Amino acid sequence: MSFDLDHFESVARQNGVRYWYAHEFMRELGYESWQAFHGVILKAQASCARLEMDTFSEFIPDTYVADDGAEVRTVKLTRFGCLLVALHADDRKQEVAAAKAALASIADQLIAAQLSQNDLGRIETRDDLKAAELALSSAAKRAGVQNHEHAFFKDAGIRGMYNRSLQELKRLRGLGERDVPYDFMGLTELAGNLFRVTQTAERLKQTPNVGLRNAQRTAHAVGTEVRSMMVQNSGVPPEALPVETNIGDVKRQLRSTAKQMKKLDAPKKTRYARKKS
């Protein structure tokens, strides 16, 4: 059975906000196990949080009476919540592929022309990279890199991976002085940098108090290894990968889509209510 948009719309409920029970949406997407589907919901909630949105306004805790009459904990999903869940669901399910197409087409009509799972992956990996860089800074400090030397240390890793400095990479990609290159990278390139940063930190943990030059050598060596791996896998050096839409703009598009979906599902005012107001 494929996803039926008309049926999806017909089972929606309204109580101040239009919503769908997760236990019912689960079946729409071809899931039989709540445990498996709940994992998808958790991923969708994490994406919502990364968009700096109120997760509880899109994923509302509630109880639900199951087919056997038992009362179970569930989640009321807004339309945007359903979209995020569908984007994280298993693509191998026919129902999921159909749901993604149907829900994304609604979003496309509203505002966002580039909604995809790749966008969510970029946002997630970019956040992971921020955390990894903090860990790398701590590892570099333990290795003897002083605060005023950190930029030189960081540049060594970039040179290893890109065969050029950070400033040269910015010029190559037409970025401004204040632009952060990570914000314009696709998922593959972000993942490569995440691996480079985490592995550099791991190696530095093994060599405390070695000083700037040795730490630079380590960062450059790891960057070179990651570069070689990426070229070997795809034939494309990392500096030749395409420049993507600023990830900040992607977040704004998604937040705007959520707002537009709420307007679409807002309770319709009656003619009497309009006259009274």
pLDDT tens sequence across 102-142: 887 776 655 444 456 688 889 999 999 999 999 999 999 99
38 and 131 belong to one structural domain: no
123 and 96 belong to one structural domain: no
For 99, the token pair is 């749901």
Q: How confident is the model at residue 265 (pLDDT cuts 50, 70, 90)?
A: confident
31 and 125 belong to one structural domain: no
106 and 168 belong to one structural domain: no
Q: Does the residue 44 lie in any domain? A: yes
94 and 148 belong to one structural domain: no
Q: Does the residue 160 lie in any domain? A: yes
Beta partners for 61? 75
Instruction: Provide the domain count of the chain.
Output: 2
Q: Does the residue 277 lie in any domain? A: no
Of 79-83, 129-133, 265-269, which range is least confident?
265-269
Q: Are 193 and 161 in contact (CB under 8 A)?
A: yes
236 and 141 belong to one structural domain: yes
Domain extent for 123: 117-244
157 and 95 belong to one structural domain: no
Q: Does the residue 77 lie in any domain? A: yes
Whose CA is closest to 215, among 162, 138, 148, 144?
144
132 and 17 belong to one structural domain: no
**Using one digit for the tens of pLDDT, what is the confidence trace for 32-64?**
999 999 999 999 999 999 999 999 999 999 998
pTM above 0.85, yes or no: no
213 and 110 belong to one structural domain: no
For 105, the token pair is 């087409």
Q: Does the residue 169 lie in any domain? A: yes
Q: Does the residue 273 lie in any domain? A: no
Q: Does the residue 87 lie in any domain? A: yes
Q: Does the residue 92 lie in any domain? A: yes
CA 103 to chain centre: 18
173 and 56 belong to one structural domain: no
